[in-house]
Amino acid sequence: MSTGSERSNEGGLSEEDKAVLAIERRGWPSPGAKERAIRERLGLSPTRYYQLLNALLDDPRALVHDPVTVNRLRRRRDARRDLRG
């Protein structure tokens, strides 16, 4: 599944995809700090960032690259989905 960003030559995740996962791996003191980092480090709007992130959660290459982060985010997404019902 493509997230819309360019892939590396080896068919793995792009540098942008890896950077999105790296931002999610960190703990953030506030949502504002995270949004600032998204804009400054990646040059993306928060909306585009979350679109890329959601696509990455379904990408098996992301799971191979960072299983702890991807599984944590999948659990969180599933819990929100269950609450909505």
Report yes or no on 75 lying in a domain: yes
Report yes or no on 4 lying in a domain: no
Give kind and range of the element (H or E) at residue 74. Answer: helix 67-84
Summarised one tens digit per residue, pLDDT across range 10-67 is: 469 999 999 999 999 998 999 899 999 999 999 999 999 999 999 999 999 999 999 9
Report yes or no on 35 lying in a domain: yes
For residue 83, give the amino acid letter: L
Summarised one tens digit per residue, pLDDT across range 74-85 is: 999 999 988 887
Report yes or no on 63 lying in a domain: yes
The total number of structural domains in the chain stands at 1
Joined tokens for residue 85: 């019902």
What would the DSSP string read from start to end of 23-71?
HHHS--SSHHHHHHHIIIII---HHHHHHHHHHHHT-HHHHHH-HHHHH
Can you give the pTM of this predicted structure?
Answer: 0.81
